């Protein structure tokens, strides 16, 4: 049976590849050998759940983890961030802000600190604090170390532009993100790109962006939304 660290690596690789169902079917843990990584596995599996559109299942997966996460900085921060992300997308922005406010950047490894700013930006957008969200997105971009974070920074900045109804800016940022060398996941950003292009009445390009969301992130909830915009059956 693989150890918790190995399972966490497997889960991360599968999620990065957009294989959310496979991540949720990862090998069972050898409980008790590495509590920190056991909690990280559950935090990461919550991402697989909500990428599939299972928002309540993701929240419930995180519910029992507080005591186990408490001793370790990365799990404390990761648990708060995941809950903030879920709460924002379930319309609970004030709760999400309270959760975000408890995350300390020093609790995260340097390569993951950009994601703290991205989560904060999305929460601030939900609270209609657009100027602060713009600052948080810029901070995330400046802090980005991994290729995935640099790509995601563009999509987060595009979200800010879209809320400001700057559709040209959103198109430009999403276009740069879509062309980035990192191509994993990204269904939500590509869906946003299609919506921005639709606002600009560039319907052919919008359809191509929606098709790209389905192609690159086919298991995601966003791919189903993209298929609906194209009047196609939901991806299997």
Q: What is the CATH number of the domain that holds 60?
A: 1.25.40
Examine residue 168 and state whether it is found in any structural domain, yes or no. yes
Q: Are residues 171 and 200 in the same domain?
A: no
Q: How far apart are the first and last CA of the chain?
A: 31
Examine residue 80 and state whether it is found in any structural domain, yes or no. yes
Q: What is the pLDDT of residue 34?
A: 87
Examine residue 98 and state whether it is found in any structural domain, yes or no. no
Q: Are residues 120 and 48 in the same domain?
A: no
Tell me the torsion sign for CA atoms 55, 60, 62, 66: positive
Q: Are residues 222 and 177 in the same domain?
A: no
Parent domain of 229: 184-236
CA distance 223 to 152: 17
Tens digit of pLDDT at every position of the chain (236 positions): 678 888 999 999 999 999 999 999 988 776 667 899 999 999 999 999 999 999 999 999 999 999 999 999 999 999 999 999 999 999 999 999 999 999 998 999 999 999 999 999 999 999 999 999 999 999 999 999 999 999 999 999 999 999 999 999 999 999 999 999 999 899 999 999 999 999 999 999 999 999 999 999 999 999 999 999 999 987 76
Tokens read off for 51: 């990428």
Examine residue 228 and state whether it is found in any structural domain, yes or no. yes
Q: Are residues 193 and 215 in the same domain?
A: yes
Q: Are residues 145 and 199 in the same domain?
A: no
Examine residue 100 and state whether it is found in any structural domain, yes or no. no
Q: What is the pLDDT of residue 236?
A: 65
Interior CA angle at 72 toward 71 and 74, to 5°? Answer: 155
Q: Are residues 137 and 61 in the same domain?
A: no
Tokens read off for 102: 């408890």
Q: Are residues 178 and 189 in the same domain?
A: no
Q: What is the pLDDT of residue 181?
A: 95
Q: End of a domain among 61, 92, 123? A: 92
Q: Are residues 146 and 160 in the same domain?
A: yes
Q: Are residues 178 and 196 in the same domain?
A: no
Q: What is the pLDDT of residue 5?
A: 87
Examine residue 101 and state whether it is found in any structural domain, yes or no. no
Q: Are residues 167 and 144 in the same domain?
A: yes
The total domain count for the chain is 3
3-state secondary structure the chain: CCCHHHHHHHHHHHHHCCCHHHHHCCCCCCCCCCHHHHHHHHHHHHHHHHHCCCHHHHHHHHHHHHHHHCCCHHHHHHHHHHHHHHHHHCCCHHHHHHHHCCCCHHHCCHHHHHHHHHHHHHHHHHCCCHHHHHHHHHHHHHHCCCHHHHHHHHHHHHHHHHHCCCHHHHHHHHHHHHHCCCCCCCHHHHHHHHHHHHHCCCHHHHHHHHHHHHHHCCCCHHHHHHHHHCCCCCCC
Q: What is the pLDDT of residue 234?
A: 77
Q: What is the pLDDT of residue 29?
A: 74
List Cβ neighbours of 58 (8 Å cut-off, separation of 6 or more): 46, 47, 49, 50, 82, 86
Q: Are residues 84 and 135 in the same domain?
A: no
Q: End of a domain among 166, 182, 198? A: 182
Q: Are residues 88 and 159 in the same domain?
A: no
By the 10 Å C-beta count (0-12 exposed, 13-18 middle, 19+ buried), 42 is classed as: buried
Q: End of a domain among 65, 92, 119? A: 92
Examine residue 24 and state whether it is found in any structural domain, yes or no. yes
Tell me the torsion sign for CA atoms 36, 38, 41, 42: negative
Q: What is the pLDDT of residue 88?
A: 97
Examine residue 10 and state whether it is found in any structural domain, yes or no. yes
């Amino acid at each position: 049976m693989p150890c918790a660290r190995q399972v966490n690596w497997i889960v991360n690789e599968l999620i990065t590849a957009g294989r959310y169902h496979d991540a949720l079917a990862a090998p069972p843990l050898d409980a008790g050998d590495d509590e920190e990584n056991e909690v990280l596995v559950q935090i990461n599996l919550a991402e697989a759940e909500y990428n599939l559109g299972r928002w309540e299942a993701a929240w419930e997966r995180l519910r029992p983890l507080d005591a186990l996460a408490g001793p370790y900085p990365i799990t404390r921060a990761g648990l708060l961030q995941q809950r903030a992300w879920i709460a924002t997308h379930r319309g609970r922005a004030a709760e999400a802000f309270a959760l975000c406010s408890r995350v300390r950047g020093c609790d995260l490894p340097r390569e993951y600190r950009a994601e703290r700013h991205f989560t904060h930006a999305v929460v601030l957008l939900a609270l209609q604090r657009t100027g602060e969200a713009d600052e948080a997105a810029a901070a995330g971009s400046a802090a980005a170390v991994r290729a995935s974070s640099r790509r995601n920074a563009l999509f987060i900045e595009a979200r800010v532009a879209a809320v400001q109804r700057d559709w040209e800016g959103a198109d430009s940022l999403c276009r740069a993100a879509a062309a980035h060398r990192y191509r994993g996941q990204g269904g939500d950003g590509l869906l946003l790109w299609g919506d921005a292009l639709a606002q600009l009445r560039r319907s052919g390009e919008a359809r191509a962006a929606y098709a790209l969301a389905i192609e690159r992130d086919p298991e995601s909830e966003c791919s189903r939304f993209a298929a609906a915009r194209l009047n196609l059956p939901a991806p299997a």
